Amino acid sequence: MDGLERLAGAVLAAGFPGRTVDAHARRLIEGLHVQNIVLFARNIDSYGQLGRLCSDLQALARECGQTLPLLIAADQENGAVGRFGPDVPALPGAMALGATGDPEHARRAGEVTGRLLLGAGVNMNLAPVLDVNNNPRNPVIGIRSFGDDAESVGRFGAAFALGLQSAGVAACGKHFPGHGDTRTDSHLDLPVIGHGLERLEQVEWVPFQRAVAAGIDCVMTAHVVFPALEPGGLPATLSPAVITGLLRGRFGFEGVVVTDCMEMKAVADTVGVAAGVVQALAAGADLVLVSHTLEEQSAAHAAVVEAVRSGRLPRSRLEEAAGRVAALKRKRLRQDQDAPLAAAKGPGQGGAPRAAVHSRAGDAVDELFADARETQERIAQAAVTVVGDERRLLPLLRPGVKRALLIVARSGAVLQVSGTSEAGGRIAEVWRKRSPHVSTVVREYGGGMLFGPSAAELDAADAILLCVAGWPSAEFAAWARGLVGSGRNVVAVALRSPYDLAALPQGATRLALYEDSEPMVRAAVAVLAGQATAIGRLPVSVAPQSSRQTSGGIGH
């Protein structure tokens, strides 16, 4: 076997579509000598299944002569972006953490997330997001960011990363040198951020500098062009000036530089996947993601081997990259080959009854889940934010309220990388459980949201809860302003993104939840019922609609 082929496999991270070690996965590890795997929601249906998959992948790698464990990575940012199955408690995401105002919540969330991941055999988390989301129309970051203040994002991001690493999971801050001020999704096209160096130093770079100083293991590059750094138009992932000059030289980062997936259209439709992989390595990247297609993965592996043999890519650069990845494995990964805790869970949601030999591990998983549920509840209670209550309509469920109307308006717009959302169904269920004595009518609308509950329904309601999920249409925004201005008891709730509140009058009573997870919805309904006080603070500026064009939604 050519040692160069193994070396090329050491710097690639690849994905496959199955929930077991299928032919694609075998080809990656046996044929291409890939030593790093990236998992997505497509690979996971339960905690136990994930544990068995990771265990089987590691076993195959050992059979193929790999002396160090596989890096097995996932994007478990929490909130809008997560990879766990439905049986795993989902912690609040970055913007909800930012709303708590306390970085200790971020550290704790990182620690619990790391324990959940490691318990299933996932030893690297492609998180936290360190982008400063200072563009409300950003279609891909949004609530994945801790906020729009650079220093705050740096504090929360570093805390989350250190929490992950304290649990034994490698953290990877993204997307360097900043994806927060874009209006283009790099999954679909190549964004450009035209700010000068002074602005980049004061905003975009600050969280990455904080994370590097705190000792973060990895940094992921963005497929974004920064003309101030690369006048020729190279995206950061392919730029020696960004990776070697800025991140390595100026920031002093000595860890692993990871690329975003090279199959994203920002690279695939410009330089091409295989050529991009070689360019990224030449620019200083250490671990290159090719997440989906076996054909592209094979071509990328072959391109790296050919580039070294032809002299276009120095072998020393490849050895340096592989050495950094190996050093990370020795530093962070468990070197024993014990099966992960999750393998003790039976198939399907919640796990089947466990055999006695697995009972202790199964009990440890149960304890881990209980800890995660307690943490998610605590963070949710600290995150719910009241954005003005000039009319003093809170609590909405006050004595005398006998009839309520829940209006849920949802946009079809979602973030490219997000999972699904329950939209209005969850808040309606929690509302009814909390207030069984109130007669409640639910009206849910989607698409363009051209609708109108009847005047009779509106007039009959003692309280109206107006929920928005996704940036509303102009028609809906006009209707909502009229409803709020009618003098009725209306409280508006942004179920996903606080930017959605910009569609409503500034004087309206408004709540921001940051996500419509069950713990967050329960915490919000407790505030609406007067059983809890909202203590969260907006981590972003929500401009009135007159200063923002309707764009189909930041989504999530």
Catalytic residues: 187, 260
Q: In what order do the strands lie in the sheet with 124-125?
A: 256-259, 218-221, 170-176, 124-125, 71-74, 36-39, 12-14, 288-290
Q: What b-and-e string marks burial along 176-211, b requiring 16 or more CB atoms within 10 Å of the CB?
A: bbbbbbbebbbbeebbebebeeeebeebbbbbbbbb
For residues 333 and 499, what is the distance between their CA atoms, to the nearest angstrom? 39
For residues 145 and 157, what is the distance between their CA atoms, to the nearest angstrom? 9
Q: Sign of the CA dihedral 220, 226, 229, 230?
A: positive
For residues 282 and 276, what is the distance between their CA atoms, to the nearest angstrom? 10
For residues 255 and 237, what is the distance between their CA atoms, to the nearest angstrom? 16
Terminal C-alpha separation, the chain? 46
Residue 342 token pair = 């999750």
What single DSSP character describes residue 242?
I
Beta strands at 509-512 and 385-386: parallel, antiparallel or unpaired: antiparallel
Q: What b-and-e string marks burial along 329-359, b requiring 16 or more CB atoms within 10 Å of the CB?
A: beebbeeeeebbbbbbbeeeeebeebeeebe
DSSP structure string for 426-484: HHHHHHHHH-TTSEEEEEEE-TT------HHHHHH-SEEEEEEESPPPHHHHHHHHHHH
Residue 167 token pair = 């649990």
> 405 has which bridge partners?
441, 464
For residues 7 and 2, what is the distance between their CA atoms, to the nearest angstrom? 9
